[in-house]
């Protein structure tokens, strides 16, 4: 499923041509442009409405190769967990290409995100994720994200501390998998303005999470005690 977020060039016509050539390819056009967070959310909601049992997303620039997405899905199935996230960790034998400045800025944000979520997660912003579909995920996707850039953190927070009477996901039901390959594609880099916006997003998410933690604590203290782990 390709989500076209109000493009003004030939992207939509190209995607529609691809869909005509390959029956398994579907296109979801959005108009006007809604931003990445809402484009991802709309795509996942659309896929669930079509009957998907698991949904995921990754960037169309193929920074994460399609083969890695398939391996990530296999990891989720083999480990029998609710979600599997890719993680851009530089290790021997891995091909993770990322500018040093962006790497360290990303590490700072990731530490703040981990603390906000009270979850020992290394890389919340890696654009490669899979989720099993259940009522909690449906609730988490049922309303627009506050965040434009840090929506991954917001989505994870909604799953850990949901509303609507849905059961929270336990951290043990989520795994991170170090990617074998990831490339910072030229022209797709996050700007300084976007990074600052992500910091503002994180502040709003932290406030929203605290409100929902308190609400859950009043309703069921045991649920909050087991909803999240210690931060890194």
Please check whether residue 147 is in contact with residue 115, taking contact to mean a CB–CB distance below 8 angstroms.
Answer: no
| Cα–Cα dist 28/195, whole Å | 27
Q: In residues, how long is the chain?
A: 232
Confidence of residue 230 (pLDDT cuts 50, 70, 90): very low
CA distance 88 to 178: 6
In angstroms, rounded to a whole number, what is the distance separating the alpha carbons of residues 86 and 129? 6
Alpha carbon of 114 to those of 3, 24, 40, 72: distances in Å?
29, 37, 22, 21
User: pLDDT-derived band of residue 223, with 50, 70 and 90 as boundaries?
Assistant: low
Q: What is the pTM of this model?
A: 0.86
Taking the CA atoms of residue 201, residue 202, residue 206 and residue 207 in that order, the dihedral angle to the nearest 10 degrees is -30
52-101: per-residue pLDDT in tens? 999 999 988 899 999 999 999 999 999 999 999 999 988 899 988 877 87
pLDDT at 22: 93
pLDDT mean across residues, the chain: 88
Distance in angstroms (rounded) separating the CA atoms of residues 214 and 211: 5
CA distance 200 to 197: 5
Asked if residue 166 has pLDDT above 70, the reply is: yes
Q: What is the pLDDT of residues 94-117, one digit of tens each?
A: 988 877 877 787 788 889 999 999
pLDDT value, residue 99 = 77
């Amino acid at each position: 499923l390709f989500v076209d977020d109000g493009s003004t060039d030939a992207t939509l016509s190209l995607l529609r041509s691809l869909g005509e050539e390959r029956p398994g390819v579907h296109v979801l056009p959005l108009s006007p442009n809604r931003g990445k967070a809402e484009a991802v959310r709309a795509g996942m909601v659309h896929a669930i409405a079509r009957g998907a049992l698991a949904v995921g997303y990754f960037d169309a620039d193929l920074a994460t190769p399609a083969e890695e997405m398939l391996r990530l899905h296999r990891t989720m199935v083999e480990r029998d967990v609710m979600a599997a996230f890719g993680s851009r960790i530089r290790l021997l034998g891995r091909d993770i290409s990322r500018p040093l400045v962006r790497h360290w800025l990303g590490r700072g944000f990731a530490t703040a995100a981990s603390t906000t979520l009270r979850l020992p997660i290394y890389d919340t912003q890696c654009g490669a994720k899979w989720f099993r579909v259940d009522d909690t995920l449906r609730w988490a996707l049922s309303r627009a994200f506050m965040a434009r850039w840090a929506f991954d953190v917001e989505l994870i927070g909604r799953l850990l501390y949901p509303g609507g009477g849905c059961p929270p996901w336990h951290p043990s039901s989520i795994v991170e998998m170090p990617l074998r390959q990831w490339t910072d594609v030229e022209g797709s880099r996050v700007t300084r303005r976007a990074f600052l916006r992500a910091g503002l997003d994180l502040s709003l998410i932290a406030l929203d999470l605290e409100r929902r933690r308190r609400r859950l604590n009043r309703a069921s203290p045991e649920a909050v005690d087991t909803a999240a782990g210690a931060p890194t």
